């Protein structure tokens, strides 16, 4: 067999699986006919922690569970040590490397930690992306068995192994991030629904009931009540939990692009479609697609979504091939879809399809008894996040005022308000003036209070406008981005801007 065929066969096997251990087993099974092998290892240099850590291992009999790592003496400049070796492939026999320069104490200490007994190692240095170094190690239980021919064979597979190890490291990093985010998502469901009210218990019961089923779910509630967190919770506790969770905010995508965004398009489907685009539905295959602000979906796209829900198949824009998918659909809205159906703004047949299992999330103003628990919890968690030594207490008189405040942005608004208050007043008395403002005199008689209440009754648009202005004052006029009014109110920036235009607050 020529060298090109050898390299291609190794490449095919080492790239056959993102699980580098399984791929390595395939490589060993093939290469044992060309190079003496009893065991094979892939080690990665971690310069930050001064160690060489094992990434993967295999034997001629299959997988090998080996988490071995070697500490590098801090006095040893490992990259300089490698430069002195002068090659990218080395043979090591019983703690002795070929071509090694005169060993100093740090080098000798390092070699002693390798603990190589009566065996031979053939070692290939791999240079990965971002300057990371790794090592492919072939071990034989026989001494002095590796030749220059074996070295050349190892050199010839340097590129495919470097790519495979780079991909494996990225894959492990993504897996770690996914697990961390999954834990945050799973934990945050309780953060958003701390409380003992009957309405909260009802929602949690509904979530538990529907999570294990494959039904379409419609989540309804005001902004900031935790609709996305509920959708995440449903996904992570469903039969689709091992698949992707893809979110689409239907209100943030221009009407001209939403069709392509959901269903994808073929190359050349329209002007500017220079390449094939896989839609969100395809990306969510074997997982969950969360359609937030479903009420903003254009009528034309509603028809295509209805067909997908009926047949679980789609065609990309400009394409003819029918693609079958297995995707769970979870939707959410803060709008009254039933009224939209009556006005002809939402398809009735789609409404029936989506409303298989509706979940209504109550706003804070409908579960005021839970507000003290939430306030105390969020002050505690935010204080830890900010690194405060003491957790400020809220006096009962102030807590009563917070309990009587309507919290139009719900829990999301409460989180932002509490964090801002802790930043401003953590070493003083908490005031919450940004939302409570100046309070009326509690000693005035009831008749006077009634007169004042009558004087401040406004139409709904005025109330909304006043509240937006209050939030803009709180954010120093900032609308979008971190700490902006849209974030505080728990709405998309475009949604807030459109509302402000309708209220003549923006031109």
pLDDT tens digits, 125-171: 999 987 899 999 999 988 889 999 999 999 999 999 999 999 999 88
Which of the residue ranges 176-185, 289-298, 449-458 has the most confident prediction, judged by mean pLDDT? 289-298
What is the predicted pLDDT for the residue at 449? 45
What is the predicted pLDDT for the residue at 191? 45
Is the distance from CB of 313 to CB of 327 less than 8 angstroms? no
**Whether pLDDT at 486 is above 80:** yes
Name 122's Cβ contacts closer than 8 Å, sequence gap at least 6: 35, 89, 90, 91, 137, 138, 139, 140, 146, 150, 151, 154
What's the rounded mean pLDDT across residues 425-432? 82
CA 142 to chain CA centroid, nearest Å: 48
What's the rounded mean pLDDT across residues 190-210? 81
The SS3 call for residue 272 is coil
End-to-end CA distance of the chain: 74
What is the predicted pLDDT for the residue at 452? 41
pTM for the model stands at 0.53
**Whether pLDDT at 113 is above 80:** no
Q: How far is CA 217 from CA 208, 220, 294, 358, 427, in A?
A: 12, 10, 12, 6, 45
Question: How would you label 28-37 residue by residue, b for 16+ Cβ within 10 Å and e otherwise?
Answer: beebeeebbb
Is the distance from CB of 191 to CB of 199 less than 8 angstroms? no
**Whether pLDDT at 463 is above 90:** no
Name 475's Cβ contacts closer than 8 Å, sequence gap at least 6: 483, 484, 485, 488
What is the predicted pLDDT for the residue at 385? 83
pLDDT tens digits, 304-319: 999 999 999 999 999 8
DSSP one-letter code for 238: S
Percent of the chain as helix, strand, coil, to the nearest 5:
50, 15, 35
Is the distance from CB of 235 to CB of 288 less than 8 angstroms? yes
3-class SS string, 285-332:
CCCEEEEECHHHCCHHHHHHHHHHHHHCEECCECCCCCEECCCEEEEE
What is the predicted pLDDT for the residue at 334? 93
What's the rounded mean pLDDT across residues 71-79? 84
**Whether pLDDT at 82 is above 90:** no
Distance CA 120, CA 137 (A): 10
What is the predicted pLDDT for the residue at 303? 95
> Which is more confidently placed, 238 or 180?
238
Map tokens 């839970």 to a residue: 370
Q: How many CB atoms lie within 10 A of CB 134?
A: 23
**Whether pLDDT at 93 is above 80:** no
Q: Which two tokens stand for residue 125?
A: 């240095």
What is the predicted pLDDT for the residue at 434? 82
Q: Which residues share a beta bridge with 96?
A: 93
Confidence class of residue 444 from pLDDT cuts 50, 70 and 90? Answer: very low
Q: Over pLDDT 90: what percentage of the chain?
A: 42
144: left (phi over 0), alpha (psi -120 to 50) or beta: left
What's the rounded mean pLDDT across residues 339-348? 94
Is the distance from CB of 289 to CB of 327 less than 8 angstroms? yes
Confidence class of residue 342 from pLDDT cuts 50, 70 and 90? Answer: very high
What is the predicted pLDDT for the residue at 69? 80
Confidence class of residue 443 from pLDDT cuts 50, 70 and 90? Answer: very low
Q: Which two tokens stand for residue 2?
A: 């020529």
Is the distance from CB of 315 to CB of 307 less than 8 angstroms? no
476: left (phi over 0), alpha (psi -120 to 50) or beta: left
Which of 195, 224, 189 lies closest to 410 in space, CA to CA?
A: 224
pLDDT tens digits, 370-422: 999 999 989 988 888 888 878 888 888 899 999 999 999 998 899 899 988 88
Domains along the chain?
A: 3-171 (3.30.450.40), 193-362 (3.40.50.300), 369-502 (1.10.8.60)
What is the predicted pLDDT for the residue at 118? 59
């Amino acid at each position: 067999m020529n060298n090109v065929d050898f390299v291609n066969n190794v490449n095919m096997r080492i790239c056959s699986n993102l699980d580098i251990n399984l791929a390595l087993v395939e490589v060993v099974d093939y290469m044992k006919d060309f190079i003496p092998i009893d065991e094979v290892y892939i080690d990665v240099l971690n310069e930050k922690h001064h160690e060489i850590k094992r990434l993967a291992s295999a034997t001629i009999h299959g997988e090998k569970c080996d988490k071995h790592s070697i500490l590098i003496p801090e006095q040893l400049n490992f990259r300089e040590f490698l430069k002195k070796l002068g090659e990218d492939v080395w043979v090591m026999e019983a703690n002795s490397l070929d071509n090694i320069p005169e060993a100093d104490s740090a080098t000798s200490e390092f070699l002693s930690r390798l603990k190589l007994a009566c065996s031979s190692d053939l070692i290939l240095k791999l240079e990965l992306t971002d300057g990371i170094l790794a090592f492919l190690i072939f071990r034989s239980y026989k001494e002095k068995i590796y030749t220059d021919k074996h070295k050349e064979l190892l050199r010839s597979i340097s590129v495919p192994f470097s790519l495979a190890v780079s991909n494996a490291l990225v894959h492990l990093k993504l897996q770690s991030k996914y697990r961390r985010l999954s834990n945050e998502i799973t934990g945050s469901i309780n953060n958003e629904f701390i409380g003992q009210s009957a309405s909260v218990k009802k929602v949690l019961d509904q979530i538990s009931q529907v999570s294990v089923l494959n039904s379409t779910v419609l989540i309804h509630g005001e902004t900031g009540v935790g609709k996305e967190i509920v959708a995440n919770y449903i996904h992570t506790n469903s039969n689709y939990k091992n698949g992707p969770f893809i979110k689409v905010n239907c209100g943030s995508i221009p009407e001209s692009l939403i069709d392509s965004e959901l269903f994808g398009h073929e190359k050349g489907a329209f002007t500017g479609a220079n390449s094939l685009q896989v839609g969100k539905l395809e990306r969510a295959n074997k997982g969950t697609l969360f359609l937030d602000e479903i009420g903003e979906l254009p009528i034309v796209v509603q028809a295509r979504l209805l067909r997908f829900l009926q047949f679980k198949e789609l065609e990309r824009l400009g394409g003819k091939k029918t693609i079958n998918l297995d995707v769970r659909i979870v939707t959410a809205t803060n709008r009254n879809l039933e009224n939209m159906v009556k006005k002809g703004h939402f398809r009735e047949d789609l409404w029936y399809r989506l409303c298989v299992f509706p979940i209504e999330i109550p706003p804070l103003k409908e579960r005021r008894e839970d507000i003290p628990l939430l306030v105390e919890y969020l002050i505690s968690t935010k204080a830890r996040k900010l690194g405060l030594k003491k957790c400020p207490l809220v006096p009962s008189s102030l807590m009563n005022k917070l309990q009587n405040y309507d919290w139009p942005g719900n829990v999301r608004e409460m989180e932002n308000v509490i964090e801002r208050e802790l930043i401003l007043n953590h070493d003083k008395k908490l005031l919450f003036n940004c939302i409570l403002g100046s309070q009326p005199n509690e000693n005035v008689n009831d008749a006077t209070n009634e007169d004042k209440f009558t004087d401040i009754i406004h139409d709904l648009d005025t109330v909304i406008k006043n509240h937006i202005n209050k939030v803009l004052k709180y954010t120093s006029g900032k609308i979008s981005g971190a700490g902006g009014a849209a974030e505080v109110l728990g709405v998309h920036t475009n949604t807030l801007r459109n509302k402000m235009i309708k209220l003549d607050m923006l031109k």
